[in-house]
Structure 1
Amino acid sequence: MSVTSLVLFHVLLCITCIQGRMGIGGTEQDWGYITVRPNAHMFWWLYYTTYNNVSNYTDRPLIIWLQGGPGMASSGYGNFVEVGPLDPLFEKRQGSFVDDFNVLFVDNPVGVGYSFTSDNETKLVTNGDEIGEDLYNFFKEFITMRHPEFKTVPMYVFGESYGGKMATEFVYKLTKKEKSSKGKLCNLKGLALGDAYISPLDYLNHYAPLALNLGLVDKRGFTRIDELAKQIQVLINKKEFKKASDIENVITDLLAFETFGFDLNNFLAKMNSTKLPKVWDYMNLLENVMNNKVKEALNIELNVTWKFFENDLYDSLKGDLIKSVTHKVEALLNNTDVKIIVYNGILDFLVNTAGTIAWLDNLNWEGRERWLNTSQTPLVVDEVTEGYFKRVDNLVFYAVLRAGHSVPIDNLPVVNEILQLELLD
């Protein structure tokens, strides 16, 4: 048997072994692999809701969670650090999404987490359209062959950080294919974008003034950052996207240097010039957990190493990182009934709230004038102001207080309040 044949044999064996429900931490779940193109296998992990006041789990919506990076895996970070039923120490999480919803974590794109290619020739994705195609192929198999009971269940696609771009690509691809085939594959209700890197230039253009206004840099630092952001605009106009991404990295490095270790993900985090941002505190713990206890529990016998961040995938997408997908958000607003739910932690510098407001205000859609003339409303939870929101038709935006780049980590109760308001309306 050839090496390739042996690998594929083990793939099929693994898929056969790990199908079916079992409990980890008392939660009923299912997981497996779906081949999205030749030799490209995407891992998924489904948690059935623990909500008790329904006769069947299909009475509650399905959330699909996509992680960012690009290069981070939903199976680990989104699941164990943010919204899954257990934390990385296998303690029960209070306020898990699973308490109220069915949650599907997908290791996307292929090459991230437990997802893998079974030969050396199969390429990683290089752009958003390829990401959307792979996710569509994954979901079509999932909903028609693996879990058809979810076909009529309300479905919401969540994407965090760069995962927001990928979620947008997926939903856009899904709605286009449904329209061309004149048939509905599922009951898609909404797209949720959490601190999503939808329009990179809008965020980058706010780095210099935001840093200056927060007292993080002086006028000299402001000028250096602002000039670099203007260089990115020039490179984007020339369609030199890889060079633009290189300058983006220069800006974030410069910010770290100028601020002696400022955490771009949450500017209230305690930092110094030698410490990595807080998000990296989870790396060793998660890699140990995912490559040992979790891998054993899921019976994944493949030669797959779960990594906290997959650099090869990040490099493969380098020419796409700086591109905006706001035109696809516009298409969804103008041509579909999909609800667009945007939320942003106000302590996030990397994907700053000012940048999110900028691309939202500049969307070209039927409701634009009403959006610009609509005032925000306070979001009050248990008599505490937890943020602000505004809504016009199928677009809603939440600015969340006391939260940075990963809103569920910093203020999970408020995210759950948003879910109650938007997914169960």
Structure 2
Amino acid sequence: MANSFLLFAVCFTFVVVGTCKSLSDQEKDKIDQLPGQPANVDFAQYSGYVTVNQTSGRALFYWLTESPASRDPKSRPLLLWLNGGPGCSSVAYGAAEEIGPLHINSDGKTLFTNPYSWNKLANLLFLESPAGVGYSYTNTTSDLYSFGDARTAEDSYAFLVNWFERFPQYKHRDFYIAGESYAGHYVPQLSQLIYRRNKGVKNPVINFKGFMVGNAVTDDYNDYVGTFEYWWTHGLISDSTYKSLQKSCEGSSSEHPPIECIRALGTAEMEQGRIDPYSIYTKPCGYTSTLKRRGRYPWMRGAYDPCTENYANQYFNLPEVQKAFHANITKLSYPWKTCSDIVGGYWTDSPLSMLPIYKELIAAGLRVWVFSGDTDSVVPLTATRYSIDALNLSTIANWYPWYDNGKVAGWSQIYKGLTFVTVTGAGHEVPLHRPRQAFILFRSFLENKAMEGSQSFI
């Protein structure tokens, strides 16, 4: 009765501006408690669907984890996190094993709290995009075979517009976007869309301030050059294979590489052996899992899997979990998966470079940070450095080490309009491998302060 009265009071308060329906939908999305959730959860959670295309019946699934009450969530910014693939779930990776407050135990049934969750600094919004990824769905089967960068950006933008109507308390709040891997395409393109549609609008609803990407697919040519160089300099391939890759692959489209390039990549894979390419100095959960190919780039195999992926596949398929999340309401004909078997395999458009978008958004004065874990061989540090160098930005602070508790935690260089940060010992998913350092990185990004290290901050 008390909850019903509260909802009535809220609706009555906002009826003059017509937001009663939105607030009601928001209340329906509130998560009471997730199965296996620990007792010390002190933050509000919401999840559900937002329709992005009525004609096709496309709806995207989200999970919002607000800042704890003790950290005043109303004063905190909103961060949208996107994972890549294409076709991989931000709920599986970003939320459940990286920056989210609740991670999955090895039993696949219970959760534990992440002491370095980014929700201590911002309200976190995780989106499964495009439709066909995770719980997100479409009623038009052909959609699954015709997705690409452009439609993904448009659908994500439509999601945000409609989501802010459902959560009006976040309108005009400082808003940022972050992501990793193929989200190196998603994040800049969505950022550009928001920026352009905000032009000329006073006090825009989506108060976009900037973006941050990690180990990000950025520019086809530089990604090729930097990746092959990383393999060679880290002793993963032979001299002859390195030369063969340079000759047959560099300068070609990574979406449709020539047959000579594909052969050279196959040789490189054999020479690398049974390593986890996403984290070359740690053991993979199982050899077969590292051989799954995922993504547009021929050398990309699955998402990082030190078995956490297995726990996610188990947890998010539990009927009681889906009920608590208000998910799978259409009873999908396939199980929830960390990465879709279809989306990504039929990707229709993927620009060769994100660098023109970087130039546009940097010129607009938006905050742009790029970070890189230095043990990732899939989208490695060297690839990112070549891409940044191609922007021809002037340097404000040259390459320097940053520290955490007196130890070097990485290096950074500050350019005019862009900050680049590396994290030592981190693989493809920086917050998974180096959660404390990733927390420091995100805090510095929000404050727009140079990386200097920290002692006690939690």
Structure-1 residue corresponding to 2:358: 329
Find out whether 1:193 has 2:213 as its counterpart: yes
Which residue identity lines up with residue 414 of structure 2 in the other structure?
R
In the TM superposition, 1:389-408 aligns within 5 A as 389-408=412-431
Identify if the C-alpha distance between structure 1 residues 270 and 131 changes in structure 2 by more than 3 Å, giving closer, same or farther: same
Q: In the alignment, what sits opposite 1:3?
A: none
SS of residue in 1 equivalent to 2:342:
helix
Tell me, yes or no, if structure 1 residue 73 matches structure 2 residue 89.
Answer: yes
> How far apart are residue 213 of structure 1 and its match?
2.0
Residue in 1 that maps onto 2:154: 133
Show the 5 A alignment for 1:248-259: 252-259=265-272
Using the TM superposition, give the Cα deviation of residue 287 of structure 1 relative to its aligned residue in structure 2, in angstroms: 1.5
| Superposed displacement of residue 76, structure 1 | 1.7
2:333 corresponds to 1:308? no
Q: Find the residue that maps to 1:380 and give its secondary structure.
A: strand
Query: Is the Cα contact below 8 Å between 1:42 and 1:115 reproduced in 2?
Result: yes
AA matched with 2:314 = N
- Would the alpha carbon gap of residues 294 and 228 (structure 1) be closer, same or farther in structure 2, given more than 3 Å must change? farther
CA separation in 2, counterparts of 1:285 and 1:21? 21
Q: Distance in 1 between matches of 2:160 and 2:199?
A: 16
8 A Cα contact 2:132 2:144, kept in partner? no
TM alignment of 1:68-217, pairs within 5 A: 68-89=84-105, 90-123=111-144, 126-143=147-164, 145-179=165-199, 184-217=204-237
Count of matched residue pairs: 394
Gaps of 5+ in 1: 1-14
Q: Which residue of 2 aligns with 1:348?
A: 376
Structure 2 CA distance for partners of 1:59 and 1:17, relative to 1, 3 Å: closer
Asked if structure 2 preserves the Cα contact closer than 8 Å seen for 1:255 and 1:262, the reply is no
Distance (Å, rounded) in 2 between the aligned partners of 1:248 and 1:98: 43
Q: The residue matched to 1:316 in structure 2 has which SS?
A: coil
Distance change >3 Å, CA 50–CA 272, structure 1 → 2: closer
> Which AA in structure 1 matches 2:326?
N
Whether the 8 Å CA contact 1:61–1:154 is kept in 2: the answer is yes
Query: Which residue number in structure 2 is paired with residue 9 of structure 1?
Result: none
TM (norm. structure 1) is 0.85
In structure 2, distance between residues paired with 1:214 and 1:29: 43
Q: Which piece of structure 1 moves more, 380-389 or 214-223?
A: 214-223
Paired residue secondary structure (1:376): strand
Q: CA deviation at 1:153?
A: 1.7
Give % identity: 22
Structure 2's unaligned 5+ residue stretches are: 1-24, 106-110, 291-302, 449-458
Task: Check 1:315–1:225 CA distance in 2 against 1; reply closer, same or farther (3 A cut).
Answer: same
Q: Is the 8 A contact 1:125 1:316 kept in 2?
A: yes
Query: Aligned partners of 2:238 and 2:371: how far apart in 1?
Result: 30
CA offset at residue 108 of structure 1? Answer: 0.9
- Bigger proportion of residues as helix: 1
Residue by residue, what CA displacement relative to the aligned partner does 1:144-183 show, whole Å, maximum 9, x if unpaired?
A: x111211222111001110121011100011111116566
Q: Identify the residue that residue 438 of structure 2 maps to in structure 1.
A: 415
Q: Normalising by the residue count of structure 2, what TM-score does the alignment of the two structures yield?
A: 0.80
Please, which moves more after superposition, 263-272 or 83-92?
263-272
Tell me how far 1:246 sits from its aligned partner: 8.0
* Aligned with residue 290 of structure 1, among 316, 330, 349: 316
Q: Secondary structure at the match of 1:33?
A: strand
> Could you tell me how far 1:226 is from its partner in structure 2?
2.2
Shift of 1:202: 1.1
Residue-by-residue CA offset, 1:241-293 (whole Å, 9 max, x unaligned): 64239887665543321121232211112359944338233333212210114
SS of corresponding position for 1:111: coil
Q: Which residue of 2 aligns with 1:299?
A: 326
